[in-house]
């Protein structure tokens, strides 16, 4: 299977400027469905599913390769090379924020701009750093995933989205999360939540636009200020008038105008 087939890669839009849209944990490229129609006339979008998403072939998931985010960053750079992209705007949601930062640290010349949506370099609290979680919190999360994945999804999705189980966004996130094979979901969750990429931030030089919900269970608002203070290039932070970790799905009327503005904005 080719790289393009493995990642269900699609190129959409008629513009000259290339925008790469990369989704987060438990979702797939459909998480951008509200945004894409607003970009088709002015941009050429690269949409793909990161390996391990429920829409990818689980047989191609390497537990060794994806034990850290470096494997995903290499996938991203391979896609960029395959498509012969020499300049792009990268939009990374959640874990794809750090995937993009890793790729940009290795190949900064490719990334004219990075937009980080609900991104975090570390989820665990540390001395002089508030990531939002204690190790006990994560241990309980991993245990719940392992003991009853379906029940865990039913409880986790409303908390992450910031809405009740009846909402369309919670049901959509539950669907894409439940599509992930449980053993892969657990391995990916561990690689994300136990990661620490604070040390790479000073080596990320492309301009970074940091967008963050005003209330997010997974990423406290203070993390956006930490990113801005420690990234190596120019930064701008905007806190969204929206709640939850997937605001592009739960509050598109709020998020889409902000994303469109930051795609055009220079800092």
Going along the chain from its start, the domains and CATH numbers come out as 3-264 (3.40.50.1820)
Q: How would residue 186 be classed by pLDDT, with cut points 50, 70 and 90?
A: very high
* Amino acid 166: pLDDT: 87
| pLDDT band, very low/low/confident/very high, at 174 (cuts 50, 70, 90) | very high
- Give the length of the chain: 267
Q: What is the mean pLDDT of the chain?
A: 97
Distance of CA 188 to the CA centre of its chain: 13
* Confidence grade of residue 125 (pLDDT, cut at 50, 70, 90): very high
| pLDDT per position as a tens digit, 19-71 | 999 999 999 999 999 999 999 999 999 999 999 999 999 999 999 999 999 99
Helices (H), ranges, the chain: 3-6, 36-39, 70-82, 95-106, 135-147, 149-161, 168-178, 182-193, 222-230, 247-250, 252-264
- The catalytic residues are 94, 216, 245
Closest to 118 measured CA to CA, from 36, 196, 214: 214
pLDDT at 11: 97
Residue written as token pair 């979008």: 45
pLDDT digits (tens, 9 = 90+) for 141-173: 999 999 999 999 999 999 999 998 889 999 999
Over range 134-143, report the average pLDDT: 98
Classify residue 93 as exposed, middle or buried by CB count within 10 Å of its CB (0-12, 13-18, 19+): buried
**pLDDT of the residue at 117:** 98
**pLDDT the model gives residue 164:** 87
Gap between the Cα atoms of 54 and 185, Å rounded: 9
**1 pLDDT exceeds 80?**
no
pTM score of the predicted model: 0.97
Average pLDDT for 58-85: 97
CB 169, CB 246: distance < 8 Å: yes
């Amino acid at each position: 299977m080719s790289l393009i087939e493995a990642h269900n890669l699609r190129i959409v839009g008629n513009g000259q400027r290339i925008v790469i849209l990369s989704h987060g944990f438990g979702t797939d490229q459909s998480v951008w469905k509200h945004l894409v129609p607003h970009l088709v006339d002015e941009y050429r979008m690269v949409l793909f599913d990161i390996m391990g998403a429920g829409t990818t072939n689980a047989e191609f998931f390497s537990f060794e390769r994806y034990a850290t985010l470096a494997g995903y960053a290499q996938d991203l750079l391979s896609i960029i090379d395959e498509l012969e992209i020499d300049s792009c705007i990268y939009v990374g949601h959640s874990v794809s924020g750090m995937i993009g930062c890793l790729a940009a640290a290795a190949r900064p010349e490719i990334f004219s701009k990075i937009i980080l949506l609900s991104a975090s370099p570390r989820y665990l609290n540390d001395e002089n750093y508030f990531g939002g979680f204690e190790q006990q919190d994560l241990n309980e999360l991993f245990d719940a995933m392992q003991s009853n994945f379906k029940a865990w999804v039913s409880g986790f999705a409303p908390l992450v989205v910031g809405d009740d189980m009846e909402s369309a966004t919670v049901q959509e996130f539950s669907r894409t999360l439940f599509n992930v094979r449980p053993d892969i979901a657990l391995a990916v969750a561990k690689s994300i939540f136990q990661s620490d990429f604070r040390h790479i931030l000073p080596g990320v030089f492309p301009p970074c636009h940091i967008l963050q919900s005003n209330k997010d269970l997974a990423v406290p608002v203070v993390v956006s200020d930490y990113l801005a203070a420690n990234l190596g290039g120019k930064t701008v932070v905007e806190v969204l008038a929206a709640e939850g970790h997937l605001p592009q799905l739960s509050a598109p009327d709020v998020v889409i105008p902000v994303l469109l503005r930051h795609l055009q904005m220079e800092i």
